[in-house]
Structure formats: structure tokens, C-alpha cells
């Protein structure tokens, strides 16, 4: 069994309610059960936090044991050197994901502090971005 950790950052607990025209109407929990059914060969763990340090702690916790981390750091993507350092510090490869096409949005979303430390980036495919990121670990 491959072990994959999904980490969602700030405000992503409100998926389904938050700006539905940008992020859609589906909750992440509902989507997650479909993902788990689609990848029976994977143990998919899920963690969400609105707190930067808690996300860093989770990366440290799984980052020498899991086969892959799928990280949507929300707005911390654009600001957090501490998250970038955490990604670089661990052995597990990280794929950065975004639900929206950040390059089609405000210019402050065009910059990612994380991308250069990640194995790759998938963005703009709605929740399907997470599925594509998991495929990259298969």
C-alpha cells in the first residue's frame, strides 16, 4: 500500500461554502471518499489546518515515512518561506496543488514560495487537481 498524505491549508475547510464560483460546491470530505475508492492501492490520509505551524508539523511527521504529500497550502503558498523550508527538509516528495488557476487570478497569486521545492505543481482543474497529483505518485 502506498501512503499518501493530503494537506489542505487555510480556509480549505470551507470548501463547498467558500466562494463557490471559484472553488465549486463540493465539500472536500465528499470528494475524499471518491478519491479513496478510486485508489484502493493507496492509504490516503487527510489533514487540514488553518495554522501554518501545524501544517509544518504535519509535513515533518509524515515526511520521512510516506510515499507522497499532496499539498494545497492555500494563501500560505504565496507567502510562506517556512513551508518551503519544511518541504525541502523532508525526504517525501511533495506535489503542490491548487483548485483554481491561480495564474488567471490576482497578480499576488501568481507567485508561489513553494513550487521550486516541490516535485511538481498541478493547478486549475478544480478538485480533480488532487486526483491528478495522486496519479503522479502511482
Query: Interaction with ligand DQA in 100-129: which residues (CB under 6 A)?
Result: 100, 102, 109
The smaller minimum CB distance to ligand DQA, of residues 1 and 106, is found at 106
Task: Note whether 74 binds ligand DQA by CB under 6 A.
Answer: yes
Give the Cβ contact number of residue 105 at 10 Å.
12
CB 2 within 8 A of CB 41: yes
36 Cβ neighbours under 8 A, 6+ residues apart: 42, 44
Indicate the pairing of strand 94-98 with strand 68-72: parallel
| Smallest distance, ligand DQA to C-beta of residue 30, A | 17
Task: Note whether 72 binds ligand DQA by CB under 6 A.
Answer: yes
Query: Interaction with ligand DQA in 39-68: which residues (CB under 6 A)?
Result: none
CB 9 within 8 A of CB 87: no
| Smallest distance, ligand DQA to C-beta of residue 14, A | 9
Which residues contact ligand DQA by CB under 6 A? 11, 72, 74-75, 77, 98-100, 102, 109
Amino acid at each position: 500500500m502506498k501512503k499518501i498524505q493530503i494537506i489542505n491549508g487555510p480556509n480549505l475547510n470551507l470548501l463547498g461554502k467558500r466562494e463557490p464560483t471559484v472553488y465549486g460546491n463540493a465539500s472536500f470530505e465528499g470528494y475524499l471518499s471518491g478519491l479513496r475508492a478510486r485508489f484502493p492501492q493507496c492509504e490516503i490520509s487527510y489533514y487540514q489546518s488553518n495554522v501554518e505551524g501545524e501544517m509544518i508539523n504535519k509535513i515533518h511527521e509524515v515526511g520521512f515515512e510516506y510515499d507522497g504529500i499532496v499539498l494545497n497550502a492555500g494563501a500560505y503558498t504565496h507567502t510562506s518561506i517556512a513551508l518551503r523550508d519544511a518541504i525541502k527538509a523532508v525526504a517525501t516528495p511533495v506535489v503542490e496543488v491548487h483548485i483554481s488557476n491561480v495564474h488567471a487570478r490576482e497578480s499576488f497569486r501568481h507567485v508561489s514560495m513553494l513550487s521550486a521545492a516541490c516535485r511538481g505543481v498541478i493547478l486549475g482543474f478544480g478538485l480533480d487537481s488532487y486526483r491528478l497529483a495522486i496519479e503522479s505518485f502511482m
